[in-house]
């Protein structure tokens, strides 16, 4: 059914992509060759049986298709919307060699939306084991691990520092890409398996690490919510945000509806977003919906933008100006931001991975007037809890080091998601969480 028109979608935070109609879904699914050795499945980090569910959609059997997906994926409506399918399952679809690959993500979303409209069924649990597991963090890693552990019959307590579950799904990804009612429905289904969710519990501060010692196992899913800053003059001025803070203020605290809700953001008429990833696109498109003129400054070339092509396309359609080969050197203003000074960059050499290394061109600077600067140059593992656990091995970036099975250097502690990999993807976090949950159940003797 395509995207909403630009004029229409800039009026609100409603979803941009309308998804497929039943007729479109059946037609799209009918293109699948039903390969004997389906490459697409290898491209899916949770190994959904893609040909099987696509075949069911082609026959009009939408609910069985959704049930089939759910065997491997507890968050199908979310993944159908936000997974980078073009570099995963769809990248390996054999049809992509000659024509467009099957739109696997759209079909997954379609089946999950059909199922949700009819009412979701709570997955069954195995016999209670009497074992207690603490899961810290309720993003995709924590929520999926909690669901898998509850299915295996354990008593699961899920600690979340914020006042709502979901991690980045709730506070980071804007509702025009991922509607909050979709997130809520999939999380509620997992909680309905008997997971004991404790909101407003910051483990390591309001709950001490020592208080977790009575649990039989602990799973860390605390994410990568520590924003990096550029370290340039002017970063302490009023009107400078990390993308994380800005998006949390809007997505979770509804700053766009201030003063009806009591969290504001600075007055924004001209916004500069620094960065070129998906998070930068989300921040820019959010600021645009709040009425600002938005410029995105990225230090490499347009073809090097790390964001998904679809996000770049949507941002450009929505009138966001892109300035590439430029990098901020100073944020201007007395108390509040009045502008940003940037320097032009040139790409003379390549790094080991073949990416150009941006180098400043001496004295080639320019200034942009703005009242808000949003920095989106990456983020690292959340240190609050992991820095307090004695003997826990960590990598150079502060990430928790795990084996392939999710185990850490501490015998009772497992970890999954961005806290282990650094900022990655929803489905990578979910894949790690499933594996770590399996390892915990094996350790507790219930597999």
User: Which residues contribute to the site for ligand SF4 (CB under 6 A)?
Assistant: 32-35, 38-40, 50-51, 54, 93-95, 101-102, 104
Do residues 445 and 427 lie in contact, with contact meaning Cβ atoms separated by under 8 Å? Answer: no
Structure tokens at 226: 């520590």
Which residues, 6 or more positions from 343, have their beta carbon under 8 angstroms from its beta carbon?
326, 327, 329, 360, 361, 364, 365
- Per the DSSP assignment, residues forming a β-bridge with 33 are none
Of 285 and 300, which has the nearer Cβ to ligand FAD? 285
Of 20 and 273, which has the nearer Cβ to ligand SF4? 20
- Per the DSSP assignment, residues forming a β-bridge with 373 are 240, 272
Spatial CA neighbour of 75 closest among 105, 51, 52: 105
How many residues touch ligand FAD under the rule CB under 6 A: the total is 42
Convert residues 114-153 into a mask of x (bound to ligand FAD by CB under 6 A) and - (unbound).
Answer: ----------------------xxxxxxx-----------
The reply to whether 80 sits near ligand FAD by the rule CB under 6 A is no
Q: How far apart are CA 422 and CA 431, in angstroms?
A: 15
Shortest distance in whole angstroms from residue 257 CB to ligand SF4: 42
Which residues, 6 or more positions from 442, have their beta carbon under 8 angstroms from its beta carbon?
none
The reply to whether 377 sits near ligand FAD by the rule CB under 6 A is no
Q: Which of 161, 248, 327, 408 binds ligand FAD (CB under 6 A)?
A: 161
Of 54 and 135, which has the nearer Cβ to ligand SF4? 54
Q: Which does 102 bind (CB under 5 to 8 A by kind): ligand FAD, ligand SF4, none?
A: ligand SF4
Q: Which of 45, 147, 221, 381 binds ligand FAD (CB under 6 A)?
A: 221
Q: How far apart are CA 292 and CA 337, in angstroms?
A: 15
Spatial CA neighbour of 229 closest among 378, 422, 419: 378
Convert residues 345-364 into a mask of x (bound to ligand FAD by CB under 6 A) and - (unbound).
Answer: --------------------
Structure tokens at 260: 């009806």
Q: How far apart are CA 340 and CA 132, in angstroms?
A: 52
Q: What is the C-alpha R_g of the chain?
A: 22
Three-class secondary structure of residue 189 per DSSP: helix
Q: Which does 368 bind (CB under 5 to 8 A by kind): ligand SF4, ligand FAD, none?
A: none
Shortest distance in whole angstroms from residue 383 CB to ligand FAD: 9
Q: Which does 94 bind (CB under 5 to 8 A by kind): ligand FAD, ligand SF4, none?
A: ligand SF4
Shortest distance in whole angstroms from residue 160 CB to ligand FAD: 5
Three-class secondary structure of residue 206 per DSSP: coil
Q: Which of 197, 247, 255, 440 binds ligand FAD (CB under 6 A)?
A: 247
Interacting stretch for ligand FAD, rule CB under 6 A, among 82-90, 93-101, 252-260, 439-447?
82-90
Give Dmax over CA atoms of the chain in angstroms: 70
Q: How far apart are CA 222 and CA 124, in angstroms?
A: 27
Do residues 279 and 251 lie in contact, with contact meaning Cβ atoms separated by under 8 Å? Answer: no
Which residues contribute to the site for ligand FAD (CB under 6 A)? 82-84, 136-142, 159-162, 167-168, 172-173, 201-204, 221-223, 225, 247, 278-279, 282, 382, 384-385, 417-419, 423-427, 429
């Amino acid at each position: 059914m395509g995207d909403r028109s630009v004029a229409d979608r800039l009026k609100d935070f409603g979803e941009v992509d309308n998804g497929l109609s039943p007729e479109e879904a059946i037609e799209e699914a009918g293109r699948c060759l039903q390969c004997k050795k389906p490459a697409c499945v290898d491209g899916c980090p949770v190994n959904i049986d893609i040909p099987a569910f696509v075949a069911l959609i082609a026959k009009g059997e939408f609910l069985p298709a959704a049930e089939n997906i759910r065997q491997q994926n507890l968050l199908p409506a979310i993944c159908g919307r936000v997974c980078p399918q073009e570099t995963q399952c769809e990248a390996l679809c054999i049809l992509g060699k000659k024509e467009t690959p099957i739109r696997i993500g759209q079909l997954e979303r379609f089946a999950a939306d059909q199922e949700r409209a009819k009412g979701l069924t709570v997955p069954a649990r195995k016999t209670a084991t009497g074992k207690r597991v603490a899961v810290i963090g309720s993003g995709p890693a924590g929520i999926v691990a909690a669901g898998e552990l509850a299915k295996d019959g354990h008593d699961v307590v899920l600690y979340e520092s914020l006042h709502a579950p979901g991690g980045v799904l709730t506070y980071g990804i804007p509702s025009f890409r991922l509607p909050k009612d979709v997130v809520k429905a999939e999380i509620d289904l997992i909680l309905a398996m008997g997971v004991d969710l404790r909101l407003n519990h910051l483990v390591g501060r309001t709950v001490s690490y020592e208080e977790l010692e009575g649990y039989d196992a602990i799973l860390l899913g605390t994410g990568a919510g520590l924003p990096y800053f550029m370290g340039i003059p002017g970063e302490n001025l009023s009107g400078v945000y990390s993308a994380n803070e800005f998006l949390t203020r809007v997505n979770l605290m509804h700053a766009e509806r201030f003063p009806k809700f009591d969290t504001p953001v600075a007055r924004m008429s001209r916004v500069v977003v620094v960065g070129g990833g998906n998070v930068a696109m989300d921040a820019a498109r959010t600021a645009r919906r709040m009425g600002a003129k938005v410029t995105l400054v990225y230090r490499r070339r347009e073809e090097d933008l790390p964001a998904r092509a679809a996000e770049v396309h949507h941002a450009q359609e929505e009138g966001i100006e892109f300035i590439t080969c430029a990098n901020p050197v100073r944020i201007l203003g007395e108390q509040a931001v009045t502008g940003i000074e940037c320097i032009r960059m040139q790409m003379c050499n390549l790094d080991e991975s073949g990416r150009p290394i941006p180098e400043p061109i001496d004295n080639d600077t320019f200034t942009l007037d703005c009242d808000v600067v949003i920095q989106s140059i990456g983020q690292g593992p959340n240190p609050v809890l992991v820095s307090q656990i004695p003997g826990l091995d960590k990598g150079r970036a502060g990430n928790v080091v795990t084996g392939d099975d999710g185990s850490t250097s501490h015998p009772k502690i497992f970890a999954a998601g961005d806290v282990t990999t650094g900022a990655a993807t929803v489905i990578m976090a979910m894949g790690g969480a499933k594996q770590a949950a399996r390892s915990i159940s094996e350790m507790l003797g219930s597999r």
